[in-house]
Amino acid sequence: MSIDYLSGLNEPQRNAVLHTDGPLMIIAGAGSGKTRVLTYRTAYLIEQGIDPFAILLLTFTNKAAGEMRQRIEHVIGKQAKNIWMGTFHSIFAKILRFEGERIGYTSSFSIYDTDDSKSLLRSIIKEMNLDDKVYKVNVVLNRISAAKNKLIGPQQYLNNDVITSEDQMAKLPEIGNIYKTYALRCFQANAMDFDDLLFQTNILFRDHLDVLNKYQHKFKHVMVDEFQDTNVSQYLITKKLSAVNRNICVVGDDAQSIYAFRGADIQNILNFERDYSDLTTIKLEENYRSTKAIVGAANSIIAKNRHQLKKNVFTSNEKGEEIELIRAGTDAEEARLIASTIFEGKQRDSLNWSDFAILYRTNAQSRSFEEALRKLNIKYKIIGGLSFYQRKEIKDLLAYLRFVVNQQDEEAFKRIINLPKRGIGDTTIAKITVTAVENNVSIWEVVSNIQSFAGRGTQSIENFSDLIKSFKILVEVEQKDAYEVANHVAKASGLLRELYEDKTVEGLARYQNIQELLNAIKQYVDNEENEDKSIATFLQSVSLLTNADTQEDDDSKESVTMMTIHSAKGLEFKHVFLVGLEEDLFPSQMMLASQSDLEEERRLFYVAITRAEKRLYVSYSESRYQYGRLKTCEPSRFIDEIDPNFIRISKIGGKKEISGFKPIPKVGGFSQKSPTNQGQHLIQKQTTNYQHVSSSNFTPSNPLDLKEGQKVEHQKFGFGLIQKIEVNGAERKAIITFEKGVGEKTLLLSFAKLMIVS
């Protein structure tokens, strides 16, 4: 069998492919052909006689795994189907499905997404009588997640002096106890959150050596892509799995580590050298993707970081155009300028829409670009943001299905018990919960035998339990596949009917979304590659879909791609637009205010730059709307950090929009800030509806002529009314109450000042 594909590789690449025995670390610079190496290395292993079932290849997204599988198949044929490939989460969810009983989970365990976790934490915090304004769910969840990713269980958490004193300092001493309850409740619900999929795998391998041993011998080769973004928990799993055969190969680039917030730890790369004394390290430094200008700019950025491995990324590609800087007055103008640049670029270089990408720091930034692209009739697709599977109606149906599969699933239960409305409110649910605790049985136990627990007033609960029981029969007795179950549940639960009767635009969209979900399930069932067509397996695979996985491939060829920089990892485009380069936005204010890592933001910038093949545009605007308020912006420090040899100003837009609503310190003697926004409160009490206006259509001279009780018409926003209000105990005349319209909740303080006429 020939291995002529090797001739297309440079020397370090070839070495990496041929190095099949013993630990290997590949430090792969951006655009250095890392995927190629992984593909060929896997193909080569199989050609050398390694069973595909004995290869474990962990990738960052399921989509990346799918693409790599195709490429391997291209080289060695059908056998590629049998390689174990996927994300850490999906692979180990699969293993936990097989082996979870050893640690007390059934094979139909639920997977809690972030919303479920937060909701559970909220209940726990409430039950513990803690103030949810002090114990913020996000903070608590982050602490718990960080602990789990470092393999610190609840008991260890409570015993750890460093951690508990940190919590004491933060005035959040109860986090350890919350964690303990949270872990218990997840376990009782037969549910794992995202972190558990890794944490519990570690527990499984720690406490059940026979299981560990089985997989250690099963996987002759373990490979990890995007190694710089693994956390300790993931690292330990791979380390354990490869301890017997010692054939572990990790591929990564410390300069592209952008997931520290998720527990990723660059230390893993350093530990790696320590853990494997016979480690071979190969550096891939030649960039095949981008022009000299782009590589040069990227290098000048990453050089500012102090924590990094030595690496010299270079390219023999053409010099290429300099990076173009676009300066706009407003976010809307920024979007317009970029849309027209894309339009021109497509004509000039005869490209496809799919050769363009717009990258931003936050999902919220996509909006203005959508509008601008639509105006020019440019097709686009957005990756990420609110995904299909996060929509309410989808989660509702999935919650039904989850509960049918796993009646211990507390979060699913809470979601569906009164949906559609069946007259089971909080009081009833509380009673059920108390009864369950008193009798030391599960909630489902109470619900399904409600007559033996309570005498009367239980008809609606009985109906609910009969409904679920009938669904269970479908799954457990009749062994229907995922589609048949879902289809029946959607109809019989009344979810579909409720949406069908909702004739609003949103209602129609929701109805269609449910249909689309059913279609997706049908596709899943019809796909012959999926052996297990049960609803339980489908649910688990759905909850582990990544951002990149959820988009469909059909029309994607002919559209401009918009996404966050994080989602763009691993992708490349001929022309890249990196937008919103404003201080506090990118680098993010949170990153700078809170903790260490300006360096991680800089790596993010590096990742963004290196996505571009031919051309890179960076842009910022001098003012933008945020939370419905206009805000002035400074250009990002990152712009100045680019080596000036590689960048030039390309377009300059109009002047920034001056807002009439710059926050003012006082309104009628009330301070804008602490203790609460009193000025705002006072005014809100007197008014029912407000309208967001801008200085251009409302000047200070206008309101001064108004009389109390007089109705005023505003050219743009409808009607208003002069009223009396009380300011500082004194009666003042007049503020305008606008009738319903967009932004009725927004009343800017400066606007209020304008409106006070006496």
Partner DNA sequence: TTCGGCTGGTTTTTT
Partner DNA sequence: ACCAGCCGAA
Give me the catalytic one of 113, 195, 225, 481: 225
* For DNA, the closer CB: 77 or 743: 743
Give the CA angle between residues 94, 98, 100 to the nearest 5°: 100
Q: Which residues contact 6 (CB under 8 A, 6 or more apart)?
A: 14, 17, 18, 40
Are 403 and 416 contacting, i.e. CB atoms less than 8 angstroms apart?
yes
- Nearest approach, Cβ of residue 202 and DNA (Å): 15
Q: What's the min distance (Å) between Cβ of 2 and DNA? A: 37
Strands 666-667 and 84-87, sheet pairing = unpaired
256 is catalytic: yes
Question: CA 638, CA 600: separation in Å to the nearest integer?
Answer: 13
**Please, which residue, 324 or 597, has the CB nearer to DNA?**
597
Cβ within 8 Å of residue 227, ≥6 positions away: 25, 250, 251, 252, 268, 269, 272
Which residue among 99, 113, 193, 226 is the active-site one?
226
Give the integer Cα–Cα distance in Å for 452 and 359.
59
The question of whether 632 is a catalytic residue gets the answer: no
| Residue 304 a catalytic site member | no
Name which of 430 and 658 has its Cβ closer to DNA. Answer: 430
CB of 62 to DNA, least distance (A): 8
Rounded CA gap, 409 and 304, in Å? Answer: 49
Helix (H) or strand (E) holding 676: none
Active site residue 226: yes
Residues lying near DNA in the complex (CB under 7 A): 61, 87-90, 114, 119, 122, 126, 132-133, 136, 138-139, 194-195, 258-259, 261-262, 361-364, 384, 418, 421-428, 544, 546-548, 564, 566-567, 588-591, 594, 625, 627-628, 676-677, 681, 684-685, 688, 692, 742-743, 745-746
How many residues does this entry show for the chain? 758
Q: Is 564 a catalytic residue?
A: no
Smallest gap from Cβ 322 to DNA, in A, equals 28
For residue 493, give both structure tokens. Answer: 């639960």
3-state secondary structure of 61: coil
Contact 582, 624 (CB under 8 A): yes
If the CB atoms of residues 254 and 322 are measured against DNA, the closer one turns out to be: 254
CB within 8 A of 541, min separation 6: which ones? 90, 524
Q: Among residues 35, 435, 550, 746, which one is catalytic?
A: 35
User: Is 34 known to be catalytic?
Assistant: yes
Minimum CB separation of residue 725 from DNA in Å reads 14
Q: How far is the CB of 277 from DNA (least distance, A)?
A: 32
335/474 with CB nearer DNA: 335
The residue type of 145 is S
CA dist., res. 292 & res. 294, Å (int)? 5
Interatomic CA distance for residues 120 and 370, integer angstroms: 35
Q: Report in angstroms how near the CB of residue 676 gets to DNA at its nearest.
A: 5
Structure tokens at 555: 């029309």
Residue 647 phi/psi, 5-degree rounding, is -140, 145
Which residue number, 118 or 180, has a Cβ lying nearer to DNA? 118
| For DNA, the closer CB: 364 or 441 | 364
Q: Residue written as tokens 């200008």?
A: 293
Which are the catalytic amino acids?
Answer: 34-35, 225-226, 256, 611
